Chain A
Amino acid sequence: MADFCSTSRVVIVAGKGGVGKTTVTAALAITAARAGKSVLIVEVEGKSGLPSMFGAPALGYDEIDLEVGVRARFLTPDAALIDYLVTHGMKRISKRLAASGALDVVATAVPGMKDILVLGKVKSIEEAREADLVIVDAPAAGHAVTFLLSARGLLDAVRVGPVRKQAQDVVSLISDPERCQVMLVTLAEETPVSEVVDTAFAIEDRAGVALGPVVVNACFPPLPVAVAADATAILEDARVCDRFVSQREADDLAHAAAFLEERHALQVEQIQRLRAQLPLPQIELPFVFNPDITRPQLAVLADAFQRGIERL
């Protein structure tokens, strides 16, 4: 585990909306913290569900402690711009520049500007060794690819000046597997699997970023023993054990078991398809039977994460 966490100091967690990217981010952070690492989570999009998982208030630009060894902060392009100007001797006009809405115009004039500001800040956090592991909860879906491509795009577009320098620094960070890797998250369902395969190739071929294991989230665990999802068989088992089970209860038990088996079989099929199409190690995280993910659920997911990493 400690090995895994020291492979790269920055892990960018990416995946399409609804696959549980933020949950995976939190579980990875806890896993690394258990191994004695100090972790900083960087959220780049507003309204993250991360703090509420830990019962913490909304994230701001300043770091907060989520739990022992895990800190988190929010990083907006505007704040990163002010930071950049201040550290580059333009403190006097930084506030006014941001307040005038100028960033919107500059960002529009130079596509990828916002992303480069955010990634540039991540780079300086990494260089300053503010944490052993920096986890970036990346923007959703296709935005993750443009997010990672922004630096290379800027190198083509901007020939001189500090932005070019910033872009070069970011490219050298994200293309160095010792320093940075992308962890893709998906569900074991048809569309998410197809999309994660496309995203993986886009990230590796076009952005030149190393890919870590793919996390397959929300996998239904099979039942611990083989059962027949059939009311008659259930009633027969009940008779042998001298236990009263009503017909209705037997039906419900059978339906729930059949549902689980059906979903499990579909997931196994998709996991195999993913394995065939994307030659990356996989880490499976179990489905949590609770729509609210808080510390107890995160602990279960972190256990699974740890087992998954050990198996790599």
Chain B
Amino acid sequence: MTTPIEELVDSRRVVICCGSGGVGKTTTAAVLALEGARRGRNACVVTIDPARRLADALGIEHLTNDPTEIDPKLWAGDLGGGDASEVVPGGRFSALMLDTKSTFDVLVARNASTEDQAQRILDNAFYRNVSGALGGTQEYMAMEKLHELHDEGNFDLIVVDTPPTRHALDFLDAPKRLTRLLDNRVFRLLMMPTRAYLRVASVAVQTFLRTVARVVGSEVIEDVVAFFRAFEGMEEGFRERARVVEELLTDPATAFVLVTSPRRDAMEEATFFAERLAVAGQTVQALIVNRIHPSFGDESPAGLRAAADALQFSSPDAERAGPTNRLSALYANLADFREIAALERAHIEALRDRIGGDITLAYVPYLAHDVHDFTALHEVGALLFDTVSAR
């Protein structure tokens, strides 16, 4: 019988991992793609900002715009951890680390009507800032990359990590942001030929331009005007692109996985995220909770605490003092862990209820080490897939 998480990596074409920073999104994305490959799929993970050692393990220590296939010897054989005989033949595993700027350059080149137009944009100072610094550009390009990979059709499973912003939702709006910029009334006026715009431009626009020039200098204005002029005729292409990406996000073959840790702020963000997705007509298929504390049995924390206190305040004879103090410390420690485990699970279940629907819940407990090789990735995979089947 297939578990819901297995179903995700077995039958979806696109899996998007979202959540706030520091919850293990990149690792989770890599694990899902790896398990997909081990189950026979041609999988690719798009990472945004992996920790250096994970990037090394995936063979993507440099930014690259093209997926790098990882030698199956590294992840499917005995070296990759787990049982090599469980690996379904035919699976492939590729990874790429998003290069925001060159993804944007490719997008411009593709949409420009002439090479000259493309070059004018690529050389523009304002564009160079847009492609590097516009709020949400990274999110936009992550979606653009996804669209490109999906369109090329070389992979049957693409797992996307989302950028580590506090506003984990930015990528949903990202494609619209540039078109919104292009639609801005003030800038539509700016795009008119020089003299015409001076004549037509309202007092408001002129005041605006003068103010901006006063604050940041007039060369900035010249760059902006040149950029919008160079962009002339390309807005439609970008708008169309934004629409296609949005369609891909709502496609039934696309799944959203919400990654969180049991910390309150991460969960608050997860709730907010699920609500926003629901508004956008998308559902979260799975909630993956990383770094949850192990349970250690089922004794009540209060009872354990009482035992610890009773021992601590007993006055044993000299011979019993050592064992008594040791037992008291052990009880207090178990009480601490039972308490946090119970609180964490209660919070997570409340979160699942708030999200509602048939969302699958999976726990990945604290590991004794960092995850930066295939053995560890598979270890997380085994935990992830096992907790689900156990529930």
Contact = CB atoms under 8 A, between A and B. Distances in A.
Do A and B actually bind? Answer: yes
A189 B266 CA distance: 19
A178 interface: no
A110 B129 CA distance: 8
B37 to A, nearest CB: 24
Nearest to A17: B21
B1 interface: no
Contact of B208 (A46, A102, A163): A102
Interface in A104-120: 104-111, 113
A152 B207 CA distance: 29
Interface stretch (A5-13, A64-72, A153-161, A204-212): A153-161
B325 A22 contact: no
Interface stretch (A32-40, A125-133, A287-295, A303-311): A287-295
Contacts of A47: 166-167, 268-269, 272
A268 interface: no
Interface stretch (A168-176, A252-260, A272-280): A252-260
A296 interface: no
Given A105-B187, A140-B21, A158-B217, A256 B296 contact: yes
Contacts of B264: 49, 52, 291-293
A237 B333 contact: no
A18 B224 contact: no
A190 B130 contact: no
B59 to A, nearest CB: 18
B116 to A, nearest CB: 23
Given A18-B266, A100-B186, A256-B334, A111 B129 contact: yes
Given A49-B268, A106-B216, A163-B216, A252 B130 contact: no
Interface in B112-167: 125-126, 129-130, 132-135, 164-167
A107 B343 CA distance: 43
A214 to B, nearest CB: 17
Interface in A33-87: 45-47, 49, 52, 85
Interface in B157-184: 164-167, 180-181, 184
B73 interface: no
A95 interface: no
A238 B269 contact: no
Contact of A161 (B207, B214, B223, B323): B214
B340 A291 contact: yes
A196 to B, nearest CB: 13
16 contacts: A18-B21, A49-B268, A105-B181, A108-B126, A110-B220, A140-B22, A194-B52, A227-B329, A234-B330, A236-B323, A241-B327, A252-B297, A256-B334, A256-B338, A257-B330, A290-B340
Interface of A: 16-19, 22, 45-47, 49, 52, 85, 90, 93, 96-97, 100-102, 104-111, 113, 139-142, 158-163, 189-191, 194-195, 223-227, 234, 236-238, 240-241, 243, 245, 248-249, 251-257, 259-260, 262-263, 266, 289-293
